[in-house]
Amino acid sequence: MNTDSASPDTPATPPVRHEFKFSHVTTGRYLPVPGKAPGWPFAEIGHWKTDVDGCVDDWVRELTDWRREHLVRIGYDDANYRRPELQWAQRNFVHAQMMVEDRYFYDPVAGRYTVDRYLDDLEARYGGIDSVLIWFVYPNIGLDDRNKTDLAHDLPGGLAGLKSAVDDFHRRGVRVFLPTMPWDHGTREPEQNDWQAIAGLVKAVGADGINGDTYNGVPRAFFDACDALGCPVVLQPESTISSEEQLIWNVQSWGKKAPNEPIPPVAKWKWLEPRHMINYENRWGRDRNHDLQYIFFNGIGYNAWENVWGIWNQLTPRDAETLRRIAAIERQFAPALVSRDWRPYERTLQAGVFASRFPTDAFTLWTLVNRNEYAVDGEQIALPHHDGTQYYDAWHGVPLQPRLEDGRAVFDFALEGRGFGALLALAPGAAIDGLDAFLARMRERAAVPLGSLSAQWRSLPQQLVPIVPTRRATEAPPGMLTIPAGAFDFVVGGVEIEGQTWEGNDVQYPWEDSARRHHRHRLQMHAFFIDRTPVTNAQFREFLDASGWRPRDPHNFLRHWIDGAPPPGWEYKPVTWVSIEDARAYAAWAGKRLPHEWEWQVAAQGHDGRRYPWGNDWDASMVPAVNRGRTLTAPADVDAHPAAASPFGLLDLVGNVWQWTDEYADEHTRAAILRGGSSYQPQTSHWYFPQAYRLDQHGKYLLMAPSKDRSGSVGFRCVVDAA
């Protein structure tokens, strides 16, 4: 973007050396871009007047001085970047946070992990991943008193099952991270501190790294605890790094919210230590073009996170194919991307086109991004030329013959609107293993322009899992109440902590065309009968004794029982530690079924839209006392609050234990709708599973397998269809 004369609306400015004071402006995650730094007079007038080439050499010179100073200030030691067992992080270009509830990862019908299916899907869509974060905690944590470590043990097969999944990832060349978070201090108190507990998990399952949820740099205690057990790990803070000294032992981090301005920003931590891998994350992004240009310009990686707390936010076809091509280039030329001589803002010839240079002794790679919405053809970049150098358009997979002029090679190639380019210069006599095969693959991919692929985002359709009707009864069976037929205004909303009001959040009812948080629909209800109270421990024991039924996966099944029986005094408390499958088995034995959510709600609410079974005003005396401790206490008896009865006479609807109703499924996630809330309310964090006492609210509980789904805070009641 060299300009030899001022544009008509730009005042002429004599050449100056721009003195930038980076020590005062680089406390965040990104470095100030040329034209935004002090000394550039036109940056705030309009970006169309910013001539990056007019100041970029001074900018890079000052930035290099700043880096040298800051490494001294933190007493920088690069030993961990030189450790062979940690250097895989420097090639960790595509990372994915994966929910254990993802149906591509675990098959609940077959009862087994399906790692190959999960990885095959990612390879088909965007070229696969280099590492995965196996996420088993939020948003379900806090439904009961199980802490973050307990939830790992409750995965199907326990830690042995998790290790088998880790082994499957390793067999495919994928490294594995496990999560830890500092905010879980409201659930069961663990036997060890956080770093000892996670180090034990890492060793037990053979994981390679630790992701620090909400950490601004994972504390060194985690690094040292794993080292002491002989399992060195890569630390990966979610919220980047706040203290520069933490760069020494956090050899990787996430990046977030890079400013989407005409000039792409430079990643601060990558500049300080080019071997530091950043996986950029934008979980809710639907157009990820800026994200992908940012990572390509900086030579860093991406967090291809699509299952976000059970909400499917898939990469669009255009973004997925873009990531495939970027990852292919970064993997092929990985040694260049850790070069200490990396140079952002290489001088370019076209306005709105930016380049970074990544040199090695054998070859140099330039990554280019076109920030314009329109295609840019013609001469793009001019470089010093040395006889015998071979040039390639690495993005399109073809050799290049530059125009030679005054010792420079001038390159002419096309860049799509908001597109990408890559230039490779191979030094005389040098060779790169697999280069011909790589170029052939890129040439084949480039035959399809990115602009021809869809950038349209669509939410994933959900289906209500059918509930088989019961044999119709002419009168209410014992212990059940009649809910008459009639019109009902079904009004309800999800209490998910995240997801805002975006399409795809919460659930999709059969009369809706997409999932969304808020719902209203007038229903014509058939008559039915519903249990006056939740099913009790005594009733569930009768079922087991009469049927001999036992679950295929017994982990956590009735874990509060003692020697096959409820604890003394628990006979009339609601049965808990039963999965939705366990509840369905009981209902089938009893000739009943689980209620649809709207059936539960009309039975609890009547027809006046009240917020609580007893009326519109909250009354703490109508529910069991709230438990804000770190361990579960016994639920109340199901008939302990007779004054809290609904208009139809139902008891124990809110504030004791949650109750199973409907299940929804999309291609990737199963979830159950829980109603009524529970008395357990862990403190210390707003990330715990939120309560929903109000009758116009529900909870969405992600399902994986009975071993993990069973909870000490969830019970159920049943329904029979009326003639």
Q: What is the 3-state secondary structure (H, E, C) of 156-181?
A: CCHHHHHHHHHHHHHHCCCEEEEEEC
What are 353's strand-pairing partners? Answer: 370
Q: How far is the C-alpha of 354 from the C-alpha of 94, rounded, in Å? A: 23
Model pLDDT, residue 29: 77
Task: Find where tokens 């890492």 sit.
Answer: 202
Residue 25 identity (one-letter amino acid) = V
Q: How far is the C-alpha of 94 from the C-alpha of 92, rounded, in Å? A: 6
CA separation (Å) from 424 to 111, 327, 365, 503?
A: 48, 16, 5, 42
Model pLDDT, residue 375: 98
Q: Select from 307, 339, 3, 367 the least CA-distant residue to 136.
A: 307
Contact 485, 527 (CB under 8 A): yes
Q: How far is the C-alpha of 113 from the C-alpha of 109, rounded, in Å? A: 11
CA dihedral sign of residues 100, 102, 257, 55: positive
For the cut 80, the answer to whether the pLDDT of residue 717 exceeds it is: yes
Q: Select from 386, 389, 383 the least CA-distant residue to 430.
A: 389
State the average pLDDT over residues 88-113: 97
Q: Is 301 exposed, middle or buried (0-12, 13-18, 19+ CB in 10 A)?
A: buried
State the average pLDDT over residues 316-324: 98
CA angle 226, 228, 231 (to 5 degrees): 45
Q: Report strand pairing: 209-212 vs 175-180.
A: parallel
The domains of the chain are located at 22-73, 530-721
Contact 623, 641 (CB under 8 A): yes
Contact 590, 718 (CB under 8 A): yes
Q: How far is the C-alpha of 610 from the C-alpha of 273, rounded, in Å? A: 59
The highest-level CATH class for domain 530-721 is alpha beta
Packing angle of the helix pair 158-171, 115-126 (nearest 10 deg): 40
Q: What confidence tens digit (pLDDT) does each residue in 327-371 have? A: 999 999 999 999 999 999 999 999 999 999 999 999 999 999 999
Q: How confident is the model at residue 215 (pLDDT cuts 50, 70, 90)?
A: very high
* Cβ count near 291 (within 10 Å): 23
Q: How confident is the model at residue 45 (pLDDT cuts 50, 70, 90)?
A: very low
Share of the chain above pLDDT 70, in %: 94
Model pLDDT, residue 30: 77
Q: How far is the C-alpha of 410 from the C-alpha of 407, rounded, in Å? A: 10
Helices then strands, counting H and E runs in the chain, come out as 16, 33
Q: How confident is the model at residue 55 (pLDDT cuts 50, 70, 90)?
A: confident
CA separation (Å) from 664 to 310, 508, 599?
A: 11, 8, 16
Average pLDDT value for the chain:
93
Contact 145, 680 (CB under 8 A): yes
Model pLDDT, residue 35: 61
For the cut 90, the answer to whether the pLDDT of residue 31 exceeds it is: no
CA separation (Å) from 560 to 176, 222, 579, 581?
A: 33, 33, 14, 18
Q: What confidence tens digit (pLDDT) does each residue in 650-671 have? A: 999 999 999 999 999 999 999 9
Contact 537, 575 (CB under 8 A): yes
State the average pLDDT over residues 504-508: 97
Contact 561, 538 (CB under 8 A): no
For the cut 60, the answer to whether the pLDDT of residue 40 exceeds it is: no
Task: Find where tokens 């790294």 sit.
Answer: 209
CA angle 101, 105, 109 (to 5 degrees): 80
CA separation (Å) from 582 to 111, 325, 572?
A: 15, 47, 19
Model pLDDT, residue 4: 34
Task: Find where tokens 């997925």 sit.
Answer: 320
Q: What confidence tens digit (pLDDT) does each residue in 70-91 have? A: 999 999 999 999 999 999 999 9
Model pLDDT, residue 8: 35
Q: Report strand pairing: 209-212 vs 234-237.
A: parallel
Q: How confident is the model at residue 50 (pLDDT cuts 50, 70, 90)?
A: low
Q: How confident is the model at residue 242 (pLDDT cuts 50, 70, 90)?
A: confident
Model pLDDT, residue 664: 98
* Cβ count near 123 (within 10 Å): 13
CA angle 251, 320, 323 (to 5 degrees): 40
Contact 188, 168 (CB under 8 A): no
For the cut 60, the answer to whether the pLDDT of residue 508 exceeds it is: yes
Size of the chain in residues: 723
In 189-319, DSSP assigns E strands to 209-212, 234-237, 252-256, 266-267, 277-281, 301-303, 307-308, 311-312
* Cβ count near 83 (within 10 Å): 12
For residue 649, is it left (φ>0), alpha (ψ between -120 and 50) or beta? left
The four Cα atoms 679, 683, 688, 692 give a dihedral, to 10 degrees, of 40
Packing angle of the helix pair 194-205, 158-171 (nearest 10 deg): 60
What φ, ψ does residue 480 adopt, rounded to 5°? -120, 155
Q: How confident is the model at residue 49 (pLDDT cuts 50, 70, 90)?
A: low
For the cut 70, the answer to whether the pLDDT of residue 25 exceeds it is: no
Q: What confidence tens digit (pLDDT) does each residue in 658-714 have? A: 999 999 999 999 999 999 999 999 999 999 999 999 999 999 999 999 999 999 999
Q: What confidence tens digit (pLDDT) does each residue in 162-188 have? A: 999 999 999 999 999 999 999 999 999
CA separation (Å) from 459 to 60, 251, 668?
A: 43, 35, 12
3-state secondary structure of 537: helix
Q: Report strand pairing: 94-99 vs 131-135.
A: parallel
Q: How confident is the model at residue 41 (pLDDT cuts 50, 70, 90)?
A: very low
Model pLDDT, residue 663: 98
Model pLDDT, residue 649: 98
For the cut 70, the answer to whether the pLDDT of residue 39 exceeds it is: no
| Centroid of chain to Cα 13 | 48
Q: Which helix (H) or strand (E) holds 581?
A: helix 580-589
Model pLDDT, residue 621: 98
Of the given ranges (26-40, 253-267, 271-285, 610-624), which has the lowest mean pLDDT? 26-40
Q: How far is the C-alpha of 197 from the C-alpha of 187, rounded, in Å? A: 15
Model pLDDT, residue 13: 42
